[in-house]
Structure 1
Amino acid sequence: MTARVLTTRVAAVAGGALLALSPLTAQAAQVTPPTQNAPSTHALQTPQTPRPTQTAPVIAAKGATLVDGATGTSLFAKEADTARPIASTAKIMAASVVLDTKGVDLERRVPVKQEYRDFVTQHGSSTADLQTGDKLTVRQLLYAALLPSGADAAYALADTFGTGSTNDERTASFIAQMNHKAGELGLAHTKFDSFDGAGADASTPDELVKLARHAMQNDTFRTVVKTKQYKGEAPAANGRTRYYTWNNTNQLLGSYDGVIGIKTGTTTPAGDCLVFAATRGDKTLYGTVLNSKDRYADAAKLLDHGFGTTKAKTLKLRALPADTQRD
């Protein structure tokens, strides 16, 4: 379960009609009217056979969208412009702020503070189980924040890349950077008030997809979010070596052919959320489902809709190890 932090989310409950890409509708055959000097060809023409109508998928999510990754063209929308709580999908923005930092050193070592672990305990957050005194690289912290959705790792990144003389000042500065980045990307309905997504953070399906398309332009981000399991080591406080293993909470990865990420999120106000992307041949699709009772089935249905396949009917989710975080 993703962390509950600084403020309480407000769940948005809405139904709404399904909006889909306009169905392909056959047009009546165009008939050339007879001219005065030529015989009519009307009797020789055969009406065009109507193309089958593409049915929009029925999904459980209260808000959703699917777009063509190359053009941004909408392929499906359900309350796609309605802002809702987004849970840990907000960590996509946290990672983007770090990776967009000019001259960022991904191999910089960051000491784990006890405050990061205390935060997890106090708020019941999902965790990467970072150990106090260990020194992890920024790159490792990105894996820790995005795979097991560790709030402790997100705190470490915010504390490192924010400015100020105290933890609170630095994390507030980092959240301000997240909101500034949202403004730069034109995400008018996207607001952040936490570094890990369990506050009153909110966005729309359309804007989350826009954020995801931006994040996926970064090679490091793409590599991290498509990783099913990460194993690494870090210097421990006692001089020994600590070994970490983090599993990706995104079960669509490895279950639906072509999926390349991106991020799960779950809180009580937000419900189950998922931002996802998949590639088939030269076609990449991006999508979001917010507040869904069956987010993976919803995502598979949307991808089938975009790719013209029927894989969702036989979807079997990748099993996660028993000790894996759930988000």
Structure 2
Amino acid sequence: MNNGTKGARRAATLLVTAGAVLAASALTTPAQAATSTPSVKAKGAFLLNTASGATLYSKAADTKRQMASTTKMMTATVVLDTKGLNLNRKVTVKKTYRDYVTKEGASTADLRTGDKLTVKQLLYATMLPSGCDAAYALADAFGSGKTVAARKSSFIGKMNAKAGSLGMKNTKYDSFDGISSKGKNYTTPRDMSKLARHALKSSTFKTVVATKSTKQKATASSGKSRTYTWYNTNKLLGSYKGAIGIKTGTGTAAGPCLVFAASRGGKTVAGVILNDANRYQDAAKIMDAAFKSKSAKSMKLRVLPPTAQRD
């Protein structure tokens, strides 16, 4: 009789255990399925794990598209990868840079002719307000040649060389800031994610792109001090938990673009959204799938001051 009782108890235990496992599966499987393949409006999108390089999300990953001002990521990368780089080197702002912004109707850091800014300050001016004048200054300062045109061309050559070394096989640059006169400034979501992964290895790059706003004192043409105030156009910063950058971009042909990254629980992901009017929410949805969270549903985007640049 005791043996029969024990056997019944064991059978009951097995049934309860099996039921618990089935119940747990029923509870977790739909949630996991719901977060594994989010639907986004982007023409192209990609997400990777920055530590391993593993693909976490992919949509038209290898289709070439224009990238607008996300181009400036490579501008910053070429500068930061320069051997013997001196971030405190001062660069004098030329009228050429301001004239270019006016002619193109481009986003600007409002650099004043004759002011002297450090390379590091120009990186902030390029990446936060998406200053095409600042990007021009960097291209002119780090290109080679006797004329501004020659140095600009040389710098763009360095951008393409860097893309090649990073295995960005479907990327080509014909500008230092994303304003492409011939439409030959393109990339793919997968390629741009490779660049993001590489760029985030630089502590300076990480610091700059994670900054929501900054005030920088530069030497004015008069010799006195001038304070520049720049706001980051990336609205994910301060809106999505763990967001650490990276760069916005908007153009007629490119549409709204976004390169983004976030860290949670020791895991960092980086991704790309190309041509998507819903870029911030879709970027959040893709990252939520990786982090197994639901932040996108409750996310409220940071509001930029009226004086801030939009990109």
Both structures adopt the same fold (TM-score exceeding 0.5): yes
Match of 1:130 in 2: 111
Match of 1:52 in 2: 29
Superposition deviation, residue 262 in structure 1: 0.3
Task: Tell me the SS of whatever aligns to 1:292.
Answer: coil
Q: Give 2:241's match in structure 1, choosing from 230, 233, 257.
A: 257
Q: Following the alignment from structure 1 to structure 2, what is the Cα–Cα distance between the partners of residues 61 and 75?
A: 16
Match of 2:265 in 1: 281
Q: Following the alignment from structure 1 to structure 2, what is the Cα–Cα distance between the partners of residues 190 and 252?
A: 25
Instruction: Between 57-66 and 132-141, report the one with greater CA deviation.
Output: 57-66
CA deviations over 1:229-268 (Å, ceiling 9, x no partner): 0101111111221110000000001100000000000001
Q: Following the alignment from structure 1 to structure 2, what is the Cα–Cα distance between the partners of residues 98 and 216?
A: 14
Match of 1:321 in 2: 305
Match of 1:5 in 2: none
Match of 1:239 in 2: 223
Q: What pairs with 1:186-265 in structure 2 (closer than 5 Å)?
A: 186-199=167-180, 200=183, 201-265=185-249
Q: Give 1:179's match in structure 2, choosing from 148, 151, 160.
A: 160
Task: Tell me the SS of whatever aligns to 2:234.
Answer: coil
Are positions 1:84 and 2:68 aligned together? no
Superposition deviation, residue 70 in structure 1: 1.2
CA deviations over 1:24-47 (Å, ceiling 9, x no partner): xxxxxxxxxxxxxxxxxxxx8959
Q: Which amino acid aligns with 1:245?
A: T
Q: Following the alignment from structure 1 to structure 2, what is the Cα–Cα distance between the partners of residues 264 and 291?
A: 11
Runs in 1 of length 4+ with deviation above 3 angstroms? 44-51
Q: Following the alignment from structure 1 to structure 2, what is the Cα–Cα distance between the partners of residues 177 and 67?
A: 25
CA deviations over 1:72-94 (Å, ceiling 9, x no partner): 11111110111110111110100
CA deviations over 1:191-226 (Å, ceiling 9, x no partner): 000000121311110110100110110110000000
Match of 2:10 in 1: none
Q: Alignment RMSD, CA only?
A: 1.4
Q: Following the alignment from structure 1 to structure 2, what is the Cα–Cα distance between the partners of residues 144 and 113?
A: 15
Q: Which amino acid aligns with 1:248?
A: N
Q: What pairs with 1:271-310 in structure 2 (closer than 5 Å)?
A: 271-310=255-294
Q: Following the alignment from structure 1 to structure 2, what is the Cα–Cα distance between the partners of residues 215 and 69?
A: 10
Match of 2:250 in 1: 266
Q: Give 2:91's match in structure 1, choosing from 86, 96, 110.
A: 110
Task: Tell me the SS of whatever aligns to 1:180.
Answer: helix
Q: Following the alignment from structure 1 to structure 2, what is the Cα–Cα distance between the partners of residues 270 and 184?
A: 25
Q: Following the alignment from structure 1 to structure 2, what is the Cα–Cα distance between the partners of residues 188 and 65?
A: 16
Sequence identity of aligned pairs in percent?
57
Q: Following the alignment from structure 1 to structure 2, what is the Cα–Cα distance between the partners of residues 172 and 306?
A: 40
Match of 1:29 in 2: none
Scaled by the length of structure 1, the TM-score of the pair is 0.85
Match of 1:14 in 2: none
Q: Following the alignment from structure 1 to structure 2, what is the Cα–Cα distance between the partners of residues 144 and 239?
A: 20
Are positions 1:71 and 2:52 aligned together? yes
Superposition deviation, residue 291 in structure 1: 0.0
Scaled by the length of structure 2, the TM-score of the pair is 0.89
Q: Give 1:161's match in structure 2, choosing from 138, 142, 166.
A: 142
Q: Following the alignment from structure 1 to structure 2, what is the Cα–Cα distance between the partners of residues 294 and 260?
A: 19
- Name the structure with the higher helix share: 2
